[in-house]
Amino acid sequence: MADSDSEASSNENILTESFLHLEEIDVNLYRGANLFHPIGSRSVYGGQVVAHALRAAYTTVPVQHHVHSVHCYFLKGGSADTPILYHVDHTREGRTYCNRNVKAIQEGAPIFTMQASFKRVETDLYTHQYSMPKVPGPEGLLSSVEIMERQLKTDSVSARRKRYIKKKLTESVTYENRPVNEQYSYREEPLEAVSYNWVRALGHIGDDSKMHECVAVYLSDSILDVSLLPAGVYGKDSSQRMFVTSLDHSVWFHNPFRIDEWMLYEKESPHCGDGRAMTQGRLWKRDGTLAMSVAQEGVVRTFKSSL
């Protein structure tokens, strides 16, 4: 967590100048380096690939257009050892809407595709939205980092889980996550596949709304974890492990927001079976405005291992 202005500035550099930095190397062709490989993952963080692809697409659309939806497929896990190239195809140009297709390539093979749609801002008298869930605010809640530090001192947490936590705590923290229910992180017993987390990017992102949208899709890829809550796999004596990876990812943007301010990430998983889990999410501003909707399907497989 960032507890000072200098730490906040450092986190801003990690997000905007490192993890989300793109280099334009030719017309409609971009290169992303400084790739983030999370502890325990087999490949680079999918949210970073989505954010890179959206940044690349944004450089090719008229300035008055803003993204309203992205639909992505993860084709192959990316490596953090080799830069990823992003090629943007101008699918459609229109007065109100325009579309871009982005293909991510690594070592000559496609690893990811994204179809993004952008539109001009317009107003209409007819509007409606769901009501924001009534949950405690972020003040007074523990962050995910603080919860992991507490887990290291808890006897009910397995030795394998503690080894993972120690490695996880060495990672750069780019956004703060405060679960409304601390038990979401312990998973000592099966829980309902619903969670509420207050999230915000660390550091000041600036005033460019397009960068806030890129950072939001970066952190939105954390949704698949809600599908694991009914498993309760972190108990001290549990030998059950889960293989989890994203298959696809879609985001719809409804209203402007700042991702460096607290937002409520509501997540749920209506179904898991056949080695796949479906998840859905909504990102709310503190004033109750629905900012984004998210949907993702991922591979979720169980296997046994020694402790």
Query: What Å distances lie between residue 147 and 139, 142, 184, 185, 239, CA to CA?
Result: 15, 6, 10, 7, 22
Whether residue 57 contacts residue 97, with contact meaning beta carbons closer than 8 Å, is answered with: no
Q: Check if 129 is active-site.
A: no
3-state helix, strand and coil shares in percent for the chain, rounded to the nearest 5: 25, 35, 40
Catalytic residue (choose from 238, 246, 250, 293): 246
Structure token pair of residue 92: 């459609």
194-201, strands of its sheet edge to edge: 23-26, 29-32, 84-93, 97-106, 109-120, 65-74, 240-253, 290-304, 276-285, 263-273, 194-201, 175-179
β pairing state of 194-201 and 290-304: unpaired
Q: Which of 106, 185, 250, 296 is catalytic?
A: 296
Annotated catalytic residue, options 151, 158, 195, 221: 221
221 catalytic residue (yes or no): yes
Q: Which residues are catalytic?
A: 221, 246, 296
